[in-house]
A and B are shown apart, each in its own frame.
Chain A
Amino acid sequence: MARRNREIGKAGWGYTAITSVVGFIYFFPVFWIILTAFKTRTDALATPPKLFFTPTLDNFTSVFYRASITTGTSQATDMGLYFFNSIFIAGTSVGLALIVGTLAAYAFSRYPLRGNDTYLFIILTTRMMPPIVVIIPIFLMFRLSGLAGSYWGIILLYTAFNIPFSVWLVKSFFDELNPEIEDAARMDGATEGRVFFRFCIPQILAGLSATFVFGLILTWNEFLFALLLTGVETRTVPVAMARTLGGEVGVDYGLLAAIVTLFLIPIFFVTFLLQNQLLRGVTFGTVKK
């Protein structure tokens, strides 16, 4: 152990430098958009780009309150609602997908059916094509069933989209567990429900967290279906963001940057909260016990 630590220490400086540079390159666009959020319109469009400027919170204010063009008075925008929509829709659908996916994954892992792999493959095929392929039939289905524009419509769709991913990922976590523990619990008098909730689930909490965060990021950023299937009341932030482009006053980069900055916060917060779990989740099963 001591030897390993020393080796890491020795290589530390070089690796740290390289990692910092790569990290900076990756982070730069994010950094720039956050910076832009605090700039005035003039500063945002200045050439050469300004790194130092007097920060302003005007952009953030105008995310939620804008002066009306006709009357000139300040009025509330719907952005607050859109943020709520994004959080509610992504959170609910990823949560539902995780519940359904976990139950299905346990069944696939512990009670394989004849042709188990075929079913798993079929589940995966739904993710093999670009979603745009099915957009017309889905749109028509939603129109006919009246689901278009409703919360439950888009939540149902996102849940369906997240389930394959959840099933596959969570199944791999279940596969890694030592089934002897479940057998032991059965011998010791535990019911099947107790075996599942008391012994299987606690062992894969890290994996479940990772699955949740990955699903959340995918769903949080989804644009295409949200654009077509949400209504005025259920619009999500990516759609609302796109609608600020163009319009009456051209592209307001400061406003867009402010929305993006706010948009980053929930995901950042969730990832930060679960970071320890995430790290364990993504490395789950890569090291044999």
Chain B
Amino acid sequence: MTIELRQLTKRFGTLTAVDAIDLNVGDGEVLCLLGPSGCGKTTTLRMIAGLELASEGDVLLGGTKVNNRTARERNVAMSFQFYALYPSLTVAENLAFPLHGEKLDKAEIARRVAKISETLQLGGILNRTPGQLAEGEKQRVAVGRSIIRDPSCFLFDEPLSRLDVQLREEMRGEIKLVLQDLSKPTVIVTHDQLEALTMADRIAVMRDGRIEQVDTPHNVFQRPANLFVAGFIGTPQMNLLPATLTGSNGTTADFAMTGGQTMTIEVDPRVSELSPGAKVTLGIRPRNLEISREPIEGGISTTIDIVEPMGAETLAHLNDGHHDLRLVTDWRVPLAEGDRVHTRFPPGATHIFTEDEQVLRTP
């Protein structure tokens, strides 16, 4: 079983919520649709579910076009952001509800409910109504209800957004385990990158109805395809600095920063495709910056503005007079506000984005 989207488009009046996206989710694969609110990820999910009709393009489930099938006929299971448990039914009835369409006898329904309640530890709450449940329990019931049938694929809309931090970590693990057992194509919508990075086999980063990059969590983080993905993935955010290329020799390049300081960085060989004078954006993760008390060859000089201890690490804001640079370093490194430090971008850690916001990198 697979999910395939071809040039899928959704327009609401003049607004294009989803703009001709192509996407494949393989059998047993967990794909996260990640993006800021309003980027069209939930609309995409609802089109796969059959709750919204596509304006253009096709949805294929297992190779069959299902555009004109209703949600009911698509045999897709979905778990909703606000859980959408049936308020008038008990937990057991909620779990059993999706089975009513399948003409099973009572014993079989009871057996399946028992099995699910064991998997998700719902034993003690089967006779309660949703109003009497804690958030974490509601989430588990919602997941249970979506997996009790034998659907062709699973869709999750912001599955963890309503849980507190501790519960979220717990449920993340639980859902991941459940999904591994199911081995069905699964699409998870989330705006939380940590959720996406931890649960997904692949991540599709969306913005304004378009998919900006589809890749493994590792690659989305390490090899962002463009400026948007680079800035969106990773906390604290990647440092993105405007600069002008002044010269390159194939392995290293010189850049002039705003304010007159210059940097020499070991870069991807494709930078030599650019001519001197080209405007670029340099991207570097806060954990990759190297600092020193002494001036560094090819580095720039900065002042420490703010120091924010975060426990195991310290976040510091460095300022070269024009840009704010976020630095994350081990907590043992002594940093004080007002100190002058020198910093450089170590080899292989710098991402170069051209003026059209695309990355310049050897594939």
Contacts and interface: CB of A to CB of B under 8 A. Distances in A.
Contacts, number: 57
20 contacts: A178-B82, A180-B81, A180-B84, A181-B85, A181-B87, A183-B49, A184-B86, A185-B86, A185-B97, A186-B70, A187-B72, A187-B77, A187-B98, A188-B98, A188-B101, A188-B145, A188-B149, A189-B100, A190-B72, A203-B87
Given A178-B82, A180-B81, A186 B88 contact: no
B87 A187 contact: no
Given A180-B80, A180-B81, A186 B86 contact: no
B46, B50, B87, B149 interface centre (most CB from chain A within 10 Å) = B87
B84 A189 contact: no
A188 B83 CA distance: 13
Interface residues of B, number: 25
A197 B85 CA distance: 16
A193 interface: no
Interface string A40-83: 00000000000000000000000000000000000000000000
B51 to A, nearest CB: 5
Given A184-B145, A187-B76, 20 more contacts: A178-B82, A180-B80, A180-B82, A180-B83, A181-B84, A181-B85, A183-B46, A183-B49, A183-B51, A185-B86, A186-B71, A186-B72, A187-B49, A187-B51, A187-B72, A188-B100, A189-B72, A199-B88, A202-B88, A203-B88
Interface in B192-214: none
Contact of B98 (A183, A189, A203): A189
B328 interface: no
Contacts of A188: 97-98, 100-101, 145, 149
A202 B88 CA distance: 7
A231 B103 CA distance: 57
Interface string A172-201: 000000101101111111110000000100
Interface in B78-106: 78, 80-88, 97-98, 100-101
B11 to A, nearest CB: 15
B88 A184 contact: no
Contacts of A180: 80-84
Contacts of A187: 49-51, 71-72, 76-78, 98
B51 A186 contact: yes
Contacts of B70: 186
Shortest 6 CB-CB contacts between residues of A and residues of B: A189-B101, A180-B84, A184-B84, A188-B98, A180-B80, A181-B84
Contacts of A202: 87-88
Give the interface SS of chain A, mostly helix, strand, loop or mixed. helix
Nearest to A201: B88
Interface residues of A, number: 15
Name which of A189, A191, A203 has the most chain B CB atoms within 10 A of its CB.
A189
Contacts of A191: 72
B84 A183 contact: yes
Interface in B161-176: none
Contacts of A178: 82, 84
A132 to B, nearest CB: 43
Interface of A: 178, 180-181, 183-191, 199, 202-203
Contacts of A181: 84-87
B144 to A, nearest CB: 12
Contacts of B77: 187
A178 to B, nearest CB: 6
Query: Which of B51, B83, B145 is packed against the most chain A CB atoms within 10 Å?
Result: B51
A203 B219 CA distance: 47
Contacts of B46: 183
A199 B78 contact: no
Contacts of B72: 186-187, 189-191
Contacts of B78: 183-184, 187
Contact of A183 (B80, B87, B101): B80
Contacts of B101: 188-189
Contacts of B83: 180
A188 B75 CA distance: 8
A185 B83 CA distance: 12
Contacts of A183: 46, 49, 51, 71, 78, 80, 84
Nearest to A185: B86
Contacts of B80: 180, 183-184
A202 B129 CA distance: 14
Contacts of A184: 78, 80, 84-86, 145
Contacts of A189: 72, 98, 100-101
Contacts of B98: 187-189
B70 to A, nearest CB: 7
Interface string B47-58: 001110000000
Contacts of B86: 181, 184-185, 199
Q: Kindly name the residue among A178, A183, A190 whose own CB sees the greatest number of chain B CB atoms within 10 A.
A: A183
Contacts of B88: 199, 202-203
> Which of A178, A187, A190 gathers most chain B CB within 10 Å?
A187
Nearest to A184: B84
Contacts of B100: 188-189
Contacts of B85: 181, 184
A115 to B, nearest CB: 13
Nearest to B52: A183
A20 to B, nearest CB: 34
B60 to A, nearest CB: 18
Nearest to A202: B88
A180 B85 CA distance: 9
Contacts of B82: 178, 180
B315 to A, nearest CB: 35
A184 B86 CA distance: 9
